[in-house]
Structure formats: structure tokens, C-alpha cells
Structure 1
């Protein structure tokens, strides 16, 4: 009967129970089936998060892969994951027994005048030196009967997940910054080339007007206008040169390098444009793809686990201790069976009055959970509206670009007709140069419109979220290829 009771107590202590409230991740309730501006993109499921490959620019692809390996902010985020993992290991270790070893030597003498000395001790023990050696272990274990340590361990594990999600978010922001600066760099180069061409043509106009004024056929008004036009486009060249260097230096910062290390790295290339539509998937997909939503959901889960620990902290805590060891006067006898000694104990601690501190901690955690729930709801609403806004802006930028292309085609036609009229002797060359100036201005506007589209492409993909890590995506692609090869092999084997 006694052994049965002992077994029951041990089973109860080892099994324990959890005080953590049940937690289920929120579902996608209230989201529409399609986006309001879905016509501006492809509703297909997003299969590849390396969306910048649609620009078909190898230099951009290589730059992103390099930045994701070298960027300091991304490395800091990776270290944050390691720190969270170490914290999880430390918290989880509280659930298992702590074992410490010790050894030493001792020497002592009992005082003859000690009030405790008496017949019970014996004359042979008093006034003499006693020495020896000892070795032993100390084992202590908190029996997690009410799940307090389990809850803390779960919370620490969730914090690791949050660190990983945050790292993915940092990678997303840095990658978007790389794409933006690279495209702006190429755009500044394109606008600079147009400005130089315009300067050359305006210089010809000024020289021609000056010649007419010198011969008495031109006016000072025309001369002043020509000089103003030349000064204007010359000033724009300085702005474009500045923009080119600013974005180049920003890419150097993202790479963790000095500007001089990459100043001649990028070969001249045209501004890349997106090919194909942007896949968006269903609105509910952003719940799985957005890092801010994932962080908010994991925060709810972590606080729920911490709430469980606070509730369990109101209940008794149980401890098991044991101290086996050996003590002997000489090293030869230290490990003999007669030198073995031990002590074991079982204890409990229960705070029955703390002025309401434990209850206040529970109330605080419950309030934190409600705040986290509201933040999650806000993150979902903000994400959904951000996707709608960026899709609308992207669609409008496409339509704006289309209209500018029509206008650009007309200015090119005007230049062609002006050249034909000049060759026929029907107009002077100043009119030809003016037509060229208007065409250059329109070509610059087209480049700006292309940059606007590119910026909107970046914003749409940021709003959609996803794992933009090149290494992760290549691993997924490799696994898919292996699966396909395996399926193909199985099919061929069946055919044989």
C-alpha cells in the first residue's frame, strides 16, 4: 500500500498540469476574397519570392545576393536569433535537474572549552586534529507540477521564432532598399545621358542664335531665352550627377564597403523594366507572408505563455534535492563502500500572502494579451489597406506611363517632321533644335515614369511580404527539382 502511494505521488509530480490558457492563432476573418484593385496584378499564387528577377538584370540579382550575405543590419539580426536561442536554452534548462560536483580537503579541531563538548563527544575527539578528503555531488530539481517552467520555456521558444521573423523582416527592408537604390542609380544615369544630349543641342541653339544676333537677324530676347535654356539643362546635369553618386554610395553602405570599392563596379546599363504582371495571391495569404502580422501573432502567443507562468506562480512549488558523496581520512579509503554518505530531501514553497502582487501580475499579463490582440488586428487591417493602396498606385503609374509614351511618340514625330521641313528649306534650324529640346524633355519624363513604376513594384511586393532570402528560395527550388526528378524516376520505373 505504501509503495502504491509513493508511485502515485511520483506520477503526479512528473505528470503535472498546465495553467496556461488555451491559445489558437487568429483566423482570416473579415478579409475579402479578392483585392479591390486586383485588375492591376495577377491573382495567381506567389510561387517565387525573388520578385526582382522580373527585371531581368543579372547585376541586380548578383548585388542582392551579395548584400544579403554582407549587410551589417542582417548580420545583427542573425546574432539576435542566436541570443534568443541561448536564452531559450537557459530557460529550458530549469526544467531538468541541476547537478554540481565538488571535492576538497578539510582539517579541524574541537575546542576543549566548547560548550557543546562533553561526554557524548568523547575525550578522544577533543583537542586533536582531524583531517580528511571529500568528494560528492549536489542534485536539485524543481518539480514543475503546475507548468510554470513549461510556460516560461514556451515563451522563450516563441521569442526565438520572433527573432527569426524579425530577421526575415530586416532582410526584406534591406533587399527593398537595394532594389530601390540600384534602380534609382540606373535612372539617374539615364536622365544624365538625356541631359547631356540636351545640353549639346541647346549649345548649338545658343551658338546659332548668337550668330543671328551678330548678323543683325536675331533679337536679344531670343539670345536670352537660349542662354536660359542652356543654363537650365546644365543645372539639371549637376542634380543627376549628385543623384547618381548618392545612390551608388548608398549601395556601398548596404554592402558594408567604402564607396571607392564599388565606384567603378557597375558597368553602364539601361534602366531595367519589369516584365509580366505581379502575382498577388489571395488577401488571406498576407497573414502568412507579412512579418509584422507574424510578429504580432507570435507576440500574442508569447504573452499567453507568460500569462500561464504568472497563474502557475500562485500555486505551490516543489523541490527535490540529493547530495551523495564520499568522505575519508585518506585518499586510499575515499572511494570504498564504507566512505559513502548521502542526504536527500523534498520541499515545497507556497506564497500565501504577497499583498496582491501575484494577482496583479496575472491581471497585467491579461491586459498585455488584450493589447497584443488589438495590435494584431491593427496590423492585419493596415497590411490589407497597404496592399490595396500600392496596387492602386501601381495601376495608375502604368496608365500614366502609357500616356507619356504616346506623348513621347508624338515629340519624336515632331522632330522627324522638323528635320524634313528644315531640309526642304521651309523652317530654320532653331525650330528643329526646339523640337529636339521638347523631345528630350519628354524622354526624361518617360524615365521618371519608369522609375515611378519600379518604385510601385517595390512597394507592392513589400506590402505582400514573403521570404526574400535568396539562399532559402534557392533551397526550396532545389528541393522542388529533386522532388520532380524523383517523381520522374518513379514514373520511368513504373513504365519499365
Structure 2
């Protein structure tokens, strides 16, 4: 009875000690530089379908294919599987493990004794080998915490990779359509100049124009013509980028000849005071990296204390005639206590390393928060400014169109100056190309808003297409 009480007390003490865990208990930072933050990650409901608001079938198809075929995304997904496999393996270390073994041995002259000359012994051992590292001071628990945080970190990076991929595909699609539009503008201006040239040529033949006027028109014509290959190269470059993102070989991507850029039917709205940081997977990933680094301090600190492991065997040891019977049963228990007393300097150094890495992770997390907040604000401001530019340029283009029509009519009637027509043609080309650039820029910056907010913004119905910062 005394032995039973002693054994029970020992087991209770081991269980109690194994409930301890050295090192700091992790707490998610809720204040950075005096400002309250909430980085509890939540994937936005619209994160995986926000681009459908553009109602562009081609863009929808491209993104669907990219999410299925992109190799970087597949790599990120495989990294999640690997990280969780490591976590499960680490978590299992806290529990007893064992193996069923069967070994056979045949020996001649088992000793140096002359009596054993020519003696052959045979036998085998079979049974269950068990081992258990008793987690006295929480080393394995902290290691499990760290592995789980790293697995969550990998999962969040996968979510962020999806956000970035969608943004890249949408941006490249906008660049493709924008290059097509600029190419179309240039080709249309070439046609307009050809019409003007025909008029000048006719007036020259009638003695009402000069060779200088024709030469000046040709200068402008060939200047535009020389820019056409540049626009074609931009189309090819965007197409190449899209092909790579969709894991397609060169020439496999077939896109229609539509030259208009996608536009929203209604604008986006950002609520002032809303916690958009929770939609940023990169911020949440940095927080999980901090959690893993904090748990690693406990792993290193546990080496300051003794560690206890227990090994055991339960099975049979065979007799020389290879028979198994009750008398051949065998068991063993082998507790082992070890303590790195002679290497405490190295242990303390590893603890300092772990603490320094935790400070690095904290600084990285805080910087990620600042980067995210400024990224979101910059994307909003940039989009609004681009919309202002686009609206002004649309008015400029309309004015240029009216000026060109009047200059051409006056020149045809013989009451206008050729230089006025030439200037009007040049202004029309400049405003048309500038408008195409700004349409592309506005679309790309709108995509940047969705990316920077993790898809966590909404659409509202308003009278214009600007981005609204609304109060709660």
C-alpha cells in the first residue's frame, strides 16, 4: 500500500510539473505607438469575388483560371500542408510513442572464453518498445505552440498570395486593355491625319497650299506612326505577364479585341473608423510569426531545467531453441533524468537569441501594421486624385474634339490657318492618349484599393464615381 501511495504521489507530481510551461505567455499586441489596433484576421466576404463588380466576363475567367493554375499559389498551398504536418508531428511529441519490433540474432563464439569456441547461439526479441519525454517544464508545449503559430502563418501567407494574385491578374488585365486602347487611339489619329493630308494634297494641287504644310503634316504623321510599335509592345508585355500568371505557354492565351477598360457601375466606400486591418492577411501573418517567436523563448528556457524521459519494453526474449512461452516474457522500465548543468552558458545564449528574435518579430509586426495603414490610405488618395485627373482630361478631350472639328471646317472652307489645324490635330492626339493612360491608371489604382483593403470594402450608390470616406 505504501509503495502504491508513493507511486501515485510520483505520478501526480509528474503530471503537475508537466502542466507548467516556462517562458512568457503570448498576448496579441493591442497597442502600437500608443494607438489601439485590432488584427484579429477575418477574411472579407468579398475577398474572392470583388472583381465581379466590374461585370467583365474575360476578367472573371482569367482570375478563375489563375486561382486554379498559378504555380506560386500552388506552392503556397503546399507550404500550408507542410507546416500543418510539422505541427501535428510536433504535437505528438508530448505523448508516449513506441514501436513493435522483431529482431533475430545468430552468433558464433559469443565470448572470448575457450568454452564458447564453436558455440552458436540463436534467439530473437519481439515486443513493444515505448518511450516518453515527460514535459516537466513545458518545452514540448511551447514547441507545439510555435509549430501551430508557424502553420497558421503559412496559411495566412496563402490567403495573402490569393489576394496578391488576384490583384496582379486584374492589374495586368487593365494594362493589357489600356495598351490596346492607346494603340487604337494612335491608329485612329493616323487615319485622321491621313484625311487631313488628303485635304492638304488636294489644296496643294489647286495651288491653295504649300509643300511646307504637307511636310509639317507628314512630320506629325510619322511621329505617331513611330509610337505604334511601342504600344504593340505594351500589349505583348501585358499578355506575357497574364500568360505567366495563368501558367500558360506563350501564345496560348486568347483574348478578345475589346479595347474598353472595366468600370464600376457604382463606387466603393470606405467607412472611417472601420477596422480594415483585420482583412490584411500579411498583418495577421506577421502577428503569427511574433507568436511563434515568443513560444520559442519557452523552448529555449526549458533547457535550464532537468528533463525526464522514460523508456520501456514489453515482450518476449526467446530461448536458444527459439520458443516463446510464459517464462520468456520480459519487461523493463528505464527512467532517465538529464540536466545540461555543464552547458548552461550555451543554454542562456540560446535564450538570448530567442528573445532577440522575438523583438525582431515584434518590430516587423509593428512595421507591417504601419505599412498596411499607410498603404490603405495612399490607395484611397491615389484613386481619388486619378479620378480628378481623368474627369479633367475627359473635358480636355471633348474641348480638343470641338477645336479640331472647327479648325478642319475652317481650313476646308479656306478661312482657317493650316497651323491652327495642325495644332488642333496635335492637341487631339495628346488629349486622347492622355485620357487612355488615365483610364488605365484609374482602373489599376482601384484594383490597388481592393488589394490594400484585402477585399473588405463595399459598393454604394452615389451620384459620382469618386471614392467616399464615410463615417459610421
TM-score range, shorter chain: 0.7 to 0.9
Mapped to 1, the partners of 2:164 and 2:297 lie a distance apart of 33
* 1:19 aligns to 2:19 (yes or no): no
Trace 1:137-286 onto structure 2 (pairs within 5 A): 137-262=128-253, 264-282=254-272, 285-286=275-276
Tell me: CA distance 1:87–1:146, structure 2 relative to 1, closer, same or farther (3 Å): same
User: Which residue does the alignment assign to 1:100?
Assistant: 99
Instruction: State the TM-score, normalizing by the size of structure 2.
Output: 0.86
Q: Deviations over 1:292-328 (max 9, x none)?
A: 3212211110011100111111111101111112133
Aligned to 1:488: none
- Residue matched to 1:297: 287
Give the conservation status (yes or no) of the 8 Å contact 1:188–1:243. yes
Please name the residue that 1:407 is paired with.
396
Describe how 1:390-405 pairs up with structure 2 within 5 A: 390-405=379-394
Q: Secondary structure at the match of 2:268?
A: coil
Is 1:344 the counterpart of 2:345? The answer is no
Secondary structure at the aligned position of 2:46 is classed as: coil
Maintained 8 Å contact 2:178/2:259: no
Quote the Cα distance in structure 2 between the aligned partners of 1:379 and 1:301: 15
Q: Deviations over 1:193-240 (max 9, x none)?
A: 121111011122233334434444323331221011101111222111
CA distance in structure 1 between the partners assigned to 2:112 and 2:453 by the alignment: 85
Q: Distance in 2 between matches of 1:151 and 1:157?
A: 10
Shift of 1:422: 6.9
**Separation of aligned partners in 1, 2:407 and 2:202:** 21
In the other structure, the counterpart of 2:303 is 313
Cα distance change on mapping 1:282 and 1:143 into 2, 3 Å: farther
* CA drift at 1:331: 7.8
In structure 2, relative to structure 1, the CA distance for the partners of 1:393 and 1:32 (3 Å cut) is farther
2:159/2:281 contact within 8 Å kept: yes
SS state at 2:430 partner = helix
The answer to whether the aligner puts 1:48 opposite 2:38 as a matched pair is no
Contact 2:315 2:331 in 1 (8 A): yes
Distance in 2, matches of 1:400 and 1:95, equals: 62
- State how far apart, in whole Å, the 2-side matches of 1:2 and 1:140 are: 23
Query: What does residue 439 of structure 1 align with?
Result: 428
Query: Are the aligned partners of 2:44 and 2:454 in contact in 1 as well (CA < 8 Å)?
Result: no
> Residues of 2 paired with 1:111 and 1:82: CA distance?
50
In 1: Cα distance, 2:127 partner to 2:334 partner:
16
Q: Give the aligned partner of residue 75 of structure 2.
A: 76
CA gap of 1:257–1:193, structure 2 versus 1, over 3 A, is: same
TM-score normalised by L of structure 1:
0.82
Structure 1 pair 129/406, CA: closer, same or farther in 2 (3 Å)?
closer
Question: Which shifted more, 265-274 or 181-190?
Answer: 265-274
Q: Report the CA distance between 1:418 and its aligned residue.
A: 5.0
Cα shift readout 1:119-157 (whole Å, capped 9, x = no counterpart): xxxxxx887544334312211111111110111111111
Q: Which residue of 1 aligns with 2:277?
A: 287
Does the 8 A contact of 2:124 with 2:322 survive in 1? no
* Structure 1: segments with no counterpart, 5+ residues: 34-44, 118-124, 469-496
CA contact (8 A) 2:312 2:334 kept: yes
Q: 1:48 aligns to what SS in structure 2?
A: helix
Q: Give the whole-Å Cα distance in 2 for the aligned partners of 1:109 and 1:229.
A: 102
CA contact (8 A) 1:328 1:339 kept: yes
Do the aligned partners of 1:205 and 1:430 also contact (CA within 8 Å) in 2? no
Alpha-carbon separation, structure 1, partners of 2:327 and 2:260: 89
CA distance in 1, matches of 2:414, 2:141: 92
8 Å CA contact 2:110–2:121 kept in 1: the answer is: no
Q: How many residues align?
A: 447
1:373 aligns to 2:393 (yes or no):
no
How far apart, CA to CA, are the structure 2 residues paired with 1:110 and 1:46? 75
The secondary structure found in structure 1 opposite 2:400 is helix
What's the secondary structure of 1:5's corresponding residue? Answer: helix
Q: What are the Cα deviations for residues 270-292 of structure 1, in whole angstroms up to 9, with x where unaligned?
A: 21123322233455623322233
RMSD in angstroms over aligned alpha carbons? 2.9
**CA drift at 1:56:** 1.8
CA contact (8 A) 1:283 1:384 kept: no
Change (3 A) 1:389 1:165: same
Distance 1:201 1:431, change over 3 A: farther
CA positional deviation for 1:453 = 0.8
Within the candidate set 463, 471, 477, 2:452 is matched to 463
Structure 2 residues without counterparts, runs of 5 or longer: 38-42, 458-472
Aligned residue in 2 for 1:6: 7
Distance change >3 Å, CA 32–CA 409, structure 1 → 2? farther
User: SS of the counterpart of 1:3?
Assistant: helix
Kept in 2: contact 1:148–1:312 (CA 8 A): yes
Give me the whole-angstrom Cα distance separating, in 2, the residues matched to 1:32 and 1:10.
46
In the other structure, the counterpart of 2:466 is: none
Deviations 1:307-354 (A, max 9, x none): 0111111111101111112133478841x3222111112111011121
In structure 2, the CA distance between the partners of 1:32 and 1:21, relative to structure 1 (3 Å rule), is closer
